[in-house]
Amino acid sequence: MCQLTVKITRHGHEEVLARDVASVESRDDAVVLLPLFDEPITVAHAAIQRIDSMNAVVTLAETAP
């Protein structure tokens, strides 16, 4: 199985939000992360910026509230 690492770009810097994410859903002005072992994480005011399938990394970007 290949789980994702999800990062977010804030103020020009990337930080890891979650590891072992099984699924990522885009909803309106938010992104919902569905980790393999934890509860869903809703990241408000975010959008998917990049998907790197070779390294199993999804990078989010902040959007204006």
Give residue-wise pLDDT tens across range 1-58. 689 999 999 888 999 999 999 999 999 999 999 999 899 999 999 999 999 999 999 9
If residue 50 lies in a helix (H) or strand (E), which one and from where to where?
Answer: strand 46-52
pLDDT given for residue 1 in this prediction: 66
- Quote the pLDDT of residue 30: 97
- Any idea what DSSP says for residue 39? -
Task: Output the six-digit token pair for 40.
Answer: 């869903």
Quick check: 60 pLDDT over 70? Answer: yes
Total domains in the fold of the chain: 1
How much is the pLDDT for 64?
85
Q: Is 15 exposed, middle or buried (0-12, 13-18, 19+ CB in 10 A)?
A: exposed
Token match 């099984």: residue?
22
What's the CA gap between 7 and 61, in Å, rounded? Answer: 9
- In the prediction, which pLDDT does 65 show? 82
| C-alpha span between 38 and 17 (Å, rounded) | 13
Instruction: Note down the domain range covering 51.
Output: 4-62
